[in-house]
Amino acid sequence: GGAAHRAAAHRRAAPPLRHLQLRQAAAQQRPRPRAPDGVEQLEFLRLQHQRHAHPRDRADALVSTGLAALGYNYVNIDDCWSYVKRGNKGQLLPDPKTFPSGIKSLADYVHGKGLKLGIYSDAGVSTCQVRPGSLHHENDDAALFASWGVDYLKYDNCYNLGIPPKERYPPMRDALNSTGRQIFYSLCEWGQDDPALWAGKVGNSWRTTDDIQDTWKSMTDIADKNNKWASYAGPGGWNDPDMLEVGNGGMTFAEYRAHFSIWALMKAPLLIGCDVRNMTSETIEILSNKEVIQVNQDPLGVQGRRILGQGKGGCREVWAGPLSGNRLAVALWNRCSETVNITMTLPAVGLDGSSAYSVRDLWKHETLPANVVGTFGAQVDVHDCKMYIFTPAVSFSASW
């Protein structure tokens, strides 16, 4: 929502106890004790709403650019899709100016492209842009979303009457489940009540922070905050550090490459936030890196985390996370103000210090000519990130 309305909603909210779109890794909501089935480890990437393009145009662009084939298969509508008030029967109404043919026809169009449709609502009396919220209307609204063919719900936190998130978010989970339709449930309570500690039983993902901005400072701050909750994420329930700013112009190519690398390593939902109809070749290069996407989509589903920081302020960072097949993803991230060498010992990231590993460079798309033993390092440009996969030359057991 807009900054002014978001600030107003914060003032109206209860004092916080403290804290794909997203990686999508479940086809159902989370209250069931069994593991979610269906498309458990597929379809995690989505396209974030862009107010400068109609969702039909964005769906077309996802297909024509080849992004849909890489897994970016959700087209999500954000705030302002609905009319300013409910209908005579209390139902939500699409804004007739923006969606004159309604949401179901849009869903049919998106589904016809082999994609899925996401929609937005709010766990308050109004959305952040002061359209009708779903608080106390959960069953009716969920049934309406299901009847339209919606596949994903982003559920925001504005104008919440001071009711704690733990009370406001479960009713929509139950309402979505009662529809019988598989609808991915994305909680967006801005990390106010440490959702990583409780939202695993409520939704499929949860925002761990407030809205991201298209700046280096915002992106790095959010990466650090999301990193704190790494151990609480896994298949069926993901930490969501907000959408990708790649391609919006506020950061350098190196910074955007780092942004994408770290979000992928953290198994974050990968939601494109730029205009996919007008991407530069650099933006396409980053968003379409299949090898980095595969790290994000790895079936093991373990969130990578920061392992160590070296130098002044710890700005020479090593991030890592285990992958399926006894592999390990490693990111060397330079958050310093100058080009630096970043080195690590293999035991520092849980590898055997005496074993040999084949190392794949995911941005150069090449395997290093010699196996690595004991230590590893590389020169990394300012604010850039190099990303690798370590595969044992012989079998090993990592200490994760």
For residues 159 and 122, the answer to whether their CB atoms sit within 8 Å is yes
**CA 370 to chain CA centroid, nearest Å:** 35
212: number of Cβ within 10 Å: 19
Q: What is the DSSP string of 333-391?
A: EE-SSS-EEEEEEGGGGT--TTSEEEEEETTTTEE-SS-EESEEEEEE-TT-EEEEEEE
Integer Rg of the chain from CA = 21
Q: Which of 174, 234, 266, 298 is nearest to 35 (CA)?
A: 234
Nearest to 137 by CA among 145, 147, 149: 145
Q: CA 289 to CA 168: how far, in whole Å?
A: 38
Output DSSP code: residue 230: G
268 vs 91: CA distance, rounded Å:
33
- Token look-up 């379809």 returns 43
Which residues are annotated as catalytic? 156, 211
Task: Tell me how many degrees the CA angle 163-238-76 measures, rounded to the nearest 5.
Answer: 80
Longest dimension (CA), the chain: 72
Reference 343, options 309, 377, 318, 368; nearest CA is 377
What Cα–Cα distance (Å) separates residue 54 from each residue in 95, 104, 205, 306?
13, 15, 25, 38
Is 120:108 a contact under the CB 8 Å cutoff?
A: no
List the beta bridge partners of residue 391: 358
CA 161 to chain centre: 27
Virtual torsion, Cα 42, 185, 154, 52, nearest 10 deg: 20
The answer to whether the CB of 122 falls within 8 A of the CB of 137 is no
Neighbours of 324 (CB within 10 A): 11
